[in-house]
Amino acid sequence: MADPASPAIATPCVKVCIVDARSGLCLGCLRTLAEIAGWSRLSGAERDGVMAELPARRARIAPGRLARFGEDRPGAPFTRCKPLLA
């Protein structure tokens, strides 16, 4: 059980957990699997560094991959999830 006095850890997770094979990034949060797995062990400064890189990472994912999830406009938040068929 989490300590109620502990501050919440900021996370870019949006519960869309599918990794793009070409870029190696999660299509939901734009983190690598290593970053996702180690997120709670990163320092606040390390998490802030990853968070600062996220907007630029979007360009590493083919627009068609993002469109499958209703996210085809750079900078727009995910609003719905569509099944990944291919």
Q: For residue range 48-78, what is the model confidence (pLDDT) as tens digits?
A: 999 999 999 988 888 887 766 655 444 444 4
pLDDT at 84: 41
Residue 61: inside a domain, yes or no?
yes
pLDDT at 54: 93
Residue 84: inside a domain, yes or no?
no
Place of tokens 């990472």: 57
Residue 47: inside a domain, yes or no?
yes
Residues of the domain holding 28: 13-68
Residue 86: inside a domain, yes or no?
no
pLDDT at 82: 39
pLDDT at 2: 52
Number of domains in the chain: 1
Residue 8: inside a domain, yes or no?
no
Return all residues near 10 (Cβ < 8 A) that are at least 6 apart: 47, 51
- Residue 10 · residue 51 · CB < 8 Å: yes
The span from the first CA to the last CA of the chain, in angstroms, equals 39
Which tens digits make up the pLDDT trace of 15-58? 888 898 889 999 989 999 999 999 999 999 999 999 999 999 98
Q: Indicate yes or no: pTM above 0.95.
A: no
Residue 80: inside a domain, yes or no?
no
Return all residues near 75 (Cβ < 8 A) that are at least 6 apart: 55, 58
Residue 53: inside a domain, yes or no?
yes
